[in-house]
Structure 1
Amino acid sequence: MTALDTVPTLLHDDTDWWRQASVYQIYPRSFADGNGDGIGDLRGIISRVPYLQNLGIDAVWLSPFYPSALADGGYDVDDYRDVDPKIGTLEEFDEMVAALHGVGIRLIVDVVPNHSSDRHEWFVEALAASKGSNARERYIFRDGTGENGELPPADWTSIFGGPAWTRVPDGQWYLHSFATEQPDFNWKHPEVRKDFLHTLRFWSDRGVDGFRIDVAHGLAKDLGEALPSKAELSAMPKDGTHPLWDRDEVHEIYAEWRSVFNEYTPARTAVAEAWVETPERRAKYASPTGLGQAFNFDLMDADFSAAQFRDIVSDNLAQSAVTGSSTTWVFSNHDGIRHATRYGLPPRAGRPGKQGADWVLAGGPEDGIDRALGLRRARAATLFELALPGSAYLYQGEELGLHEVAEIPDDQRQDPAFWRTTADDRGHDGLGRDGCRVPLPWTRSGSSFGFGTGTAHLPQPAWFADFSVEAEDGAEGSTLELYRKALRLRTELQSAEKLTWDEDLCGIDVLAFERPGGWLSITNFGADAVALPEGEMLVSSAPVEATADGHHQLPGATTAWLRRPVS
């Protein structure tokens, strides 16, 4: 019997479950350690299924759990149809799926199709094969330039810094858009396309409900004979014709995938991580004949600003209306600074680049950050998010109000984005991505705050004790209890995928919108309290203030949900 056989009838029947789902991202190596080796694992996740059920989520998105050397946190995959022995076994995977399905939680897994690891059997075969062989054609190999081929085919830079080409012993070079250990696949090769269809069926047959597609915009490439320079490449429009990114023919691949998804009942769902230039380009990934949904990361790049939030929400709801998909909302994930920290830093104010660079340049992790204000704003932002139509993606630990862990010694950092870029040009968030990947605190004490019985694979700060599940469980006003209440209410209140802005309440620092059924979300982005309209208080991200005449005011950096009186 597979995990699929244990799926409750309700989960089989609800074909549109993903449209307004609350999805909780688990970074498995940092969620819960079931065997005490310092690395999170499937046994740890299974032990925490009651916690996930009590939180009130609809689905789990599981970041890579495949065999990997961890050159990029598991996104360097050795085998797409197995579990890393450090994390568990296929039998434990089936047990985890059954446990989640048993409490009504679906499972989305990460698929990493742009590149494999350099330990994948195909790449090992390619290195042993000759130039021009079928084995090499599954990847992107080129002869070098220079008198003896000693220079790379082009001067391109990888996403993680450093050259995008690496030379192999016989003199050829291979392309890796990310780390050296992550060679890019050649998606023109029929064996690559066929093998990933096999992978999608393999996990779908084990009960997986959907897939998150890593670097979805990168699969299709057309390099031609003469490669452009880095400068020329950067100047090329990303309009479907760029040699590397967001090419139109990538959607031919996803049309094949959609055929596989539709073989199942309900059809498997997918969401694209696609960094593209325009809403129109992103809409192609959310097509019902393709992946069906695409991430928008716009709120991750926004300041805590009523004007910015309104523009982003309005634009993305308009986009989803065109595609027939639903939009996605996300404030934190495994690739960015946690939003409790972002909102405690000075605003970006439209400046390019990542906010974390300012954090470093300010003189250190604690300089220039207001931790209390950041958490207050994060709670308000999340309550705003959970009131929106569409699916909400939550990152493990945000329900505890965790801040970014900045003070990790260099010799304990694991992220290639930290090591492969210079101190003055550290990509992503200025300190790499380890700070949001530190193992969760479950208890106030212990060698790893209840993450496991041993030492965690990344150092946890002492302040984790006060942000642990044990400290917040049942504590009135805690961030954990706020998430639990809001997620429960969201399930009860969610209806048609639309909202109506309340123009009488909206202002420079205030956003208010009504959802079908007569409930209202109102957020005060400013510092001064504003009057609350009449209605039954359902939940608020911070206590509301009573006035002398019996009315109520909404403090600054606070969101409240109200049920309006029936007229």
Structure 2
Amino acid sequence: MNYAASSEQCLSRILAGLDLSFLSQRDLKLFTNRLNSHFHELFTRYVDVYGHQFDCYYHLSQLVLSLAMGLKNRKADLKRLDRARSHDDKLWHQQENQVGMACYVDLKGPTLTELQAKIPYFKSLGLTYLHLMPLYASPEGDSDGGYAVSDYRKVNPVLGNMKELEALSKALRDAGINLVLDFVFNHTSDEHRWAKAALTGDENYQNYYYLFDDRTIPDQYEQSLREIFPQVRRGSFTWNETMQKWVWTTFNSFQWDLNYSNPAVFNAITEEMLFLANIG
């Protein structure tokens, strides 16, 4: 396959079929320029993974739409930062002069507001980025230290809220420090809205996870899968009584592995990442 020619034709058809009138003329020009620069790489990798599926083109088209919506929702100061960084030879996180710190908000804050008050201290250390461990909404008791995410768009209320996270991000940027969030994309909590929809019998959302009617395939996987928490439970699959199915749960029974063989999952998790990127 001539991927170069195919990607150009595919992009032309996608743009012809999408209504991007929600973008300003300036953003539309920026978006199409970026697509022209990067779509070939996206197309090649997307088709490598999903090209055998009958609806690959549809999902790729929806992904482009999601990317456009992400640009629309990006605030002006972040767009200015994007433009400034576009002239750099390397992406900022690939630069050898970066100095970072990783921490849990509750151990360093213990809230987002109190963490913001420590920016002068971070500045004195010479930090250029602050990496926060998972701070998203998660079920009390079954949170796995924040790694069982029930909502990527909400902060654990013990730590603060999204407005406070956005304020922290801006204050860090003003101090010359980038904010990095630990993003959990292998699995969600069984209380995430996708999992809840799957529990109601919605097949679209059941396909967001790895579900099995019997032990045939899980038993084959179990021969080589490494148990993550063998002191807590054995095996990597959990029987769900409501769905009458086995769920792939690599870490804990309440953390359902996402099914990335489904392009809808890739697109959905991309939208969650874009939301967080637009927080700053």
Q: If the TM-score is normalised by the length of the shorter chain, which range does it land in?
A: 0.5 to 0.7
Task: Kindly indicate whether the alpha-carbon contact (under 8 Å) linking 1:82 and 1:90 is maintained by their aligned counterparts in 2.
Answer: yes
Map 1:510-529 onto structure 2 (within 5 A): none
Report matched runs for 1:481-492 at 5 Å: none
2:108 alignment partner AA? F
Which of residues 206, 209, 214 in structure 2 aligns to 1:139?
Answer: 209
> Hey, what does 2:198 align to over in structure 1?
126
Offset of 1:3 from its aligned partner? 7.1
Deviation of 1:201 after TM superposition, in Å, equals 1.7
> Does residue 94 of structure 2 align to residue 24 of structure 1?
no
Q: Tell me the distance in 2 between the aligned counterparts of 1:53 and 1:7.
A: 24
Q: Deviations over 1:390-448 (max 9, x none)?
A: xxxxxxxxxxxxxxxxxxxxxxxxxxxxxxxxxxxxxxxxxxxxxxxxxxxxxxxxxxx
The corresponding residue for 1:76 is 148
Report 1 or 2 for greater relative contact order, CA contacts < 8 Å, sequence distance ≥ 6.
Answer: 2
User: Of residues 168, 173, 177 in structure 2, which corresponds to 1:105?
Assistant: 177
1:68 is displaced (CA, Å) by 0.9
Q: Does 1:165 align with 2:240?
A: no
Shift of 1:60: 0.8
Query: How many residues are aligned here?
Result: 195
RMSD, aligned CA: 2.9
Deviation at 1:134, TM superposition (A): 2.0
Task: Quote the residue 2:26 is aligned against.
Answer: none
Measured in 2, the distance between the counterparts of 1:90 and 1:191 equals: 26
**Does 1:93 find its partner at 2:165?**
yes
Distance 1:59 1:11 in 2: 19
SS in 1 for 2:146: coil
Letter of the structure 1 residue corresponding to residue 228 of structure 2 = I
In terms of Rg, which structure is larger? 1
Q: Whole-Å Cα distance in 1 between the matches of residues 188 and 145 of structure 2?
A: 13
SS of alignment partner, residue 138 of structure 1: coil
Alignment correspondent of 2:259 = 186
| TM-score, with length taken from structure 2 | 0.62
Q: What displacement does 1:145 show?
A: 3.4
Normalised to the residue count of structure 1, the TM-score between the two structures is 0.32
**Number of the residue aligned with 1:521:** none
- Residue 444 of structure 1: aligned partner: none
Q: Which amino acid aligns with 2:131?
A: W
Which residue of 116, 125, 128 corresponds with 1:58? 128
- Structure 1 segment 158-557 matched on structure 2, within 5 A: 158-161=227-230, 162-169=234-241, 170-207=243-280
Greater helix percent: which structure?
A: 2
Local SS of the residue matching 1:108 = strand
Unaligned runs of 5+ in 2: 1-72
Cα pair 1:3 1:94 within 8 Å, conserved: no
Q: Helix, strand or coil for the counterpart of 1:82?
A: strand
Contact 1:11 1:104 in 2 (8 A): no
- Percentage of identical aligned residues: 28
Using a 3 Å threshold, how does the CA distance of structure 1 residues 195 and 144 change in structure 2: closer, same or farther?
same
Give the Cα–Cα distance (whole angstroms) in 2 for the partners of residues 7 and 127 of structure 1: 39
**Aligned mates of 2:214, 2:78 — CA distance in 1:** 54
* Structure 1 unaligned regions, length at least 5: 34-40, 208-567
**1:44 and 2:117 equivalent?**
no
> How far apart in 1 are the matches of 2:149 and 2:215?
30
* Structure 1 residues 122 and 6: CA distance shift in structure 2, 3 A: closer
Query: Which deviations, in whole Å up to 9, do the C-alpha atoms of 1:221-269 show, x marking residues without a partner?
Result: xxxxxxxxxxxxxxxxxxxxxxxxxxxxxxxxxxxxxxxxxxxxxxxxx
Task: Tell me the amino acid that sits aligned with residue 159 of structure 1.
Answer: I
**Secondary structure at 1:201's aligned position in 2?**
helix
* AA matched with 1:201: L
Q: In structure 1, how many angstroms separate the alpha carbons of the residues matched to 2:83 and 2:188?
A: 32
| AA at the equivalent of 1:76 | A
Q: Decide whether the 8 Å contact of 2:123 with 2:175 is kept in 1.
A: yes
Contact 1:158 1:179 in 2 (8 A): no
Given that residues 101 and 130 in structure 2 are in contact (C-alpha distance below 8 angstroms), is that contact kept between their aligned partners in structure 1? yes
Instruction: Specify whether residues 88 and 63 from structure 1 end up closer, same or farther in structure 2 by C-alpha distance, changes over 3 A only.
Output: same
